[in-house]
Amino acid sequence: MVMTSHSTALAANPVLRVPPASPAAAATYFGASLAFHADVSDVASALAAYGDPGFVVLDSRSTASWDQGHIPGAVHLPTALIPEQAAALLDPAVPVVTYCWGPGCNGGTRAALALAQRGFQVKEMLGGFEYWVREGFAYETWEGGERRAADPLTAPVDAADCGC
């Protein structure tokens, strides 16, 4: 096989060294991803728009973290306590959206796994509490409610949504 300069350049390209999946495989993967994940702004929108959004939000962090700040209306259940307390705090017929600190933390993933292993329908909120705050949504602390201005790197400055 004779390699052209184009194919030689692609082979050296770290993005395309492994070729993209077929469109069918990509559709399967990304469709499945949406079944497992929820976006911060979608969660905020659903909580704001509906009296009952059809899911419960679960903060899987420690009590100290919860006191520092959490999503209003969230259930506080640290991951380590899920085995003994989930059945008493959550309705297995209602989907759960878990979160932890942020994208550098997999605590929301561990909580989602623990809940799924106990028969709960679950999604993980991408971005966690960090992106909830960075996108400018209200949150509660042990002292009361707070809100920060949206970070222009994470949310549109002069628009209702990002358009994605």
Q: What is the per-residue pLDDT across 8-47, written as a single tens digit (0 to 9) for each?
A: 665 678 888 889 999 999 999 999 999 999 999 999 999 9
Question: Which CA distances in Å does 8 have to 1, 83, 117?
Answer: 12, 53, 47
Question: Kind of pairing, strands 75-76 and 122-126?
Answer: unpaired
pLDDT tens by residue, 73-112: 999 999 999 999 999 999 999 999 999 998 889 999 999 9
Q: Where are the beta strands (DSSP E) in the chain?
A: 37-39, 56-59, 75-76, 96-99, 122-126, 139-141, 144-146
For the chain, percent of residues with pLDDT exceeding 90: 71
Closest CA to 55 of 78, 33, 71, 69: 71
Mean pLDDT calculated for residue range 131-146: 92
**Tokens of residue 127, six digits:** 């971005």
This prediction has a pTM of: 0.85
Question: Are the beta carbons of 134 and 106 closer than 8 angstroms?
Answer: no
